[in-house]
Structures are given as structure tokens and as C-alpha cells.
Chains A and B, each alone.
Chain A
Amino acid sequence: MDSQLPLVLALVAPLLGSCVTGDYNQTRVFQPVPADAVASLEVGRAGLEDALSGLGAPLQVIELGAGAALAWGWKESADWNITGSANIGSVRGRIQYADAALEFPGVVLFFDRSWTLVAKEEGFLSDLLLKPQLPRLVEGASGPAGDA
């Protein structure tokens, strides 16, 4: 054992000036909507009232062409953030590891102009809401209008 001591000291010595800290973060933002309520909404039949009574108030309402998209989202995550630093000789090093989840899972319901459900999608809101938006409808516009 005594013969190994110098080797152990040589390995440990550079680490004496080091420091490792860790953060464990648990995050909950809003609450998931009931899966059975989402499943019960039938495309082509369900309306705005069905969606609001089953899922509650949405997180976002977005104009989409002549219709609209309503999004419900929530997040429940636990992540680590570990930072280590060490002084080895005259060199100072620092390393960081983080596994924070950035995605926000949710449900998006797409409605037509008469508030009939035309599509429903589940996934990450960042993916679902990045779809190209249709041109905005200007109701009642029959053509270029001049100043009266």
C-alpha cells in the first residue's frame, strides 16, 4: 500500500483545487389535459363548445387562415445541471453538463371558419405551431377599397 501512495497522491493532487457542483431541477408548468377528453373530440363533428368544455381554456388561440388553432400545453420535467472546474498547474478548466428538456408537449385543435374541428394533433407545441400559417382572411372584403 505504501508503495502505491505516491501514485495515488500524484493522481489526486491535481484535483485538490477542483470543485464539482450539481443542480437538480424539477419543473411543472400547467397540467395535462384529460386524454379521454381529447379522444372524444371527433374531427368533422366537434365544435368549439365541445373543445372548451372538455379541455378547458387553451394556452393559445391563433388565427389560421379563415379558421383558428387552439393549443393546450404543459410541461413536467426533471433535469440535471452539473458543473465541474479544476486547476491543473496554471491551467483552469471548466466543464458543464445540462439535460434540461425544452420541449412543451401539448395538443393543438384546428377549426374552420364555422368552428368545426377539422384536425387535431398531439406532440411538441414548438413543432405543431411552427407550421406555415395560411394567409389571413379579410371577411367581407370584395376587392381593393378606395378611400370614400
Chain B
Amino acid sequence: MAISVLPGCFFSRSRTNPELSPELASQIIPNQSTAGDVTRVLGAPNEVVQLGLRTAWRYEHTVEKQSAAFLVFLGLRGVDTQSDRVWVFFDTDGNVTNVGTQFQASEAEYDVPIF
């Protein structure tokens, strides 16, 4: 009974999809790489968007860090979700035309809010 009202806390971390890195993404070169090259480097995409006869492929690795403190009748919870994301744009022949990247998954933080 007494234990049930004691303060507590927890931390959790979850990840979605394999990690991406600037080194991997830099191997995809616009006007040189093909769809085959992209799958060899990054594997199967998480999403394929049809743009007329062109396509865009999304790769995403997400990290969510969650922390919480329970103070009897008050719970404080912080959730931080950040991702590494790569979009590869192809022309009608399956050649890479553009690559967009962002790498922020490592910036996810445990942060119990104190207001």
C-alpha cells in the first residue's frame, strides 16, 4: 500500500527503422546514381511517392526518448522524437535528380519537464 504512493520515474527509448548516416547518403549522387544504386546503399525505402511518371523515395530512422517522474498525484512526462530522413527524387528513367537529407535522430533528449 505504502509503495504505491511513493514517487517514481522511468526512461524509455524506442527506435524505428535502421540508422541512416551522412556517409551513406553521400554515396547517392544526383545525375549519376540510379534506383539500383540507391537500393544497394540504403535498401528498400519506407515510402514511395508517385509524381507523375517520376518518383520520390523516403528513408527514415526515428528515435523517441521518453522520461517521466511521478510525484504521488502529479505526473511529469517529456517525449522527444527526432529523426534522420533522406528523400531521393528520380526522373522518369529512374535516375537520381535530387537528394534531401537531415540527420537529427542523435539530438533526441531525455527531458523531464520542470515548469
Contacts and interface: CB of A to CB of B under 8 A. Distances in A.
Contact of A20 (B73, B102, B111, B115): B73
Interface stretch (A3-11, A23-31, A91-99, A122-130): A23-31
A105 to B, nearest CB: 15
B102 A139 contact: no
B49 interface: yes
B53 A140 contact: yes
A13 interface: no
Contacts of A25: 77-79, 113
Nearest to B57: A61
Interface string A60-76: 01110010100000000
A26 B81 contact: no
Contacts of A26: 77-79, 111, 113
Chain B, interface SS category: strand
A115 B51 CA distance: 11
A115 B80 CA distance: 33
Contacts of A68: 51, 56
Chain A, interface SS category: mixed
Interface residues of B, number: 34
Interface in A22-53: 22-31, 48-49, 51-52
A62 B39 CA distance: 22
A117 to B, nearest CB: 13
Given A21-B73, A24-B115, A78-B115, A30 B104 contact: yes
B98 A52 contact: yes
Given A24-B74, A139-B92, A52 B53 contact: no
Contacts of B75: 21-24
Given A24-B113, A56-B85, A113-B52, 7 more contacts: A24-B76, A25-B77, A26-B79, A26-B113, A28-B79, A57-B102, A115-B98
* Shortest Cβ-Cβ A-B pairs, 10 listed: A52-B100, A56-B102, A26-B113, A57-B85, A57-B100, A23-B75, A57-B102, A26-B78, A139-B52, A139-B53
